[in-house]
Amino acid sequence: MSEKIEASTSEAHEAKGGKLEVEEAEHHEHKDEISPELEALLQTDPTKGLTSAEAAERLARFGLNELAEVKRNPLLKFLGYFTGAIAYLIEVACIISAVVEDWLDFGIILALLLVNACIGFIEESKAESALDALRQTLALKTRAWRDGHLVDWFPVMAVVTKTGGDTFIGRAANLISITTEEGHFQKIINRIGNFLILITVVLVVIIMIYQLVHFKGEEKGKFLSVLGRVLVLTVAAIPVGLPTVMSVTMAVGAKQLAAKKVIVKRLTAVEEMASVSVLCSDKTGTLTLNELTFDEPYLTNNYSSDDILLYSYLAAEAGANDPIEFAVRTAAEEQLEILKNRTHKHEVPGFK
C-alpha cells in the first residue's frame, strides 16, 4: 500500500488540541525528496497520494500494514500444561493408583494434575488478555494523503513501499516468533524434574526387586501391595504444588509489569528478566520517548535565554523534519511572548 504521509509546522499546536494547518508551501518544499523513479514504480503521486479506490485495491492485494500474530489453539495450549518432567511424574502416579485400584488416591492425584493445569492456563490467559489491551493503547495512528487531502497526522514524509510481514521489522518479528528455545527458568525446572525422576526410578526398582524377591512364591495379591508401596514413594517424590505456585507467582508478576506498560509474552520471562544483570536495548522510542526538548542554554556575552531561543527559532527551518529544529521551534512558540502575541503565525515582529 503506497501512502504519502506529511508533517506540518503546527505539530506542537496539534498536540495541544489546536487545529491542524497544512500549508501548500511546506508541502511543495519537500516534494522533490520523492524520486520520479519511485513514483513510477509504486504508481503514486506524492502531491495527492492515492485515491480511495486505489487504496482499497492495494489493501485487498497486500493486506493490512500489521505484523501477523500466531494464535495457538486453546486446547493445545491447555494440553501443554500436562507435559514436562514433573507433570509426567504426577501422571505416572495417577496410572499406578488406577492399576492398584486405589481410587481415592487416583482422584486426589488427578485433581492435583488438573488444578495445576487449570491455574496455569487461566492465569496465563488473563495475562495475555491484559497484554492485548495494552497493545491497543500502544497502537500508532497516522495521517495519509487520500484523494488529495490529508486525513491524519504523523511527523514524517514518506512513500510506503512495503507493509506488514514484508518489511524488515516484519521479517525479524517472524524469525523471533518461530524460535522455540527453552527459557532459563524452564530448563531449571526440567533439571529438577529429571533429577526427581532418576531418583524415583532407582528407588522404585530397588523396592520392587526386594519386595518381589521377599514375597517370591506367595499369592499374587502381594504384587499389588508392591505397587502400592511404589505409589506411595512416587507421590512422596513429586512436588505437586510446585507448578501451581510457579504459575500464580509469575502471573502476578506479569500483571504488575503490564500495569507499567511492560509486555510479557511468556510467564517464564518474568523470572528470566529477574536474573538479568546486563540488558542491551534499543534506547530511542523504547526507553525514551524519541522526543527532544529544549533545556536551559549556556549563556555568554550577556545574552539571555530568550535571546538564544529566539535566534535559534529564526535559524530553524519552518516545516523541517529535523528533531532539533522542531524542538527549538516548539520551545520558542511556548515560551517567548513575542511569538505568542504575534498577529501572523509566520511573522516575527522586528525581523524579516
Report, as residue numbers or ranges, the catalytic residues: 282
List the one residue out of 331, 189, 178 whose CA is nearest residue 246: 189
Nearest-angstrom CA–CA distance, 264 and 134: 11
Nearest-angstrom CA–CA distance, 190 and 199: 14
Nearest-angstrom CA–CA distance, 112 and 110: 5
Cα-based angle 13, 19, 22 (whole degrees, multiple of 5): 90
Nearest-angstrom CA–CA distance, 89 and 302: 80
Half-sphere exposure of 163 (CA within 13 A, CB side): 14
Grid cell locating 335:
515560551
Bridge partner list, 4: 159
DSSP for residue 5? E
List the one residue out of 308, 315, 302, 316 whose CA is nearest residue 336: 308
DSSP for residue 301? T
Nearest-angstrom CA–CA distance, 231 and 96: 6
Alpha-carbon distances, residue 77 vs 121, 134, 225, 317 (angstroms): 8, 22, 38, 55
- Classify residue 110 by burial, with Cβ atoms within 10 Å: 0-12, 13-18, 19+: middle
Nearest-angstrom CA–CA distance, 198 and 195: 5
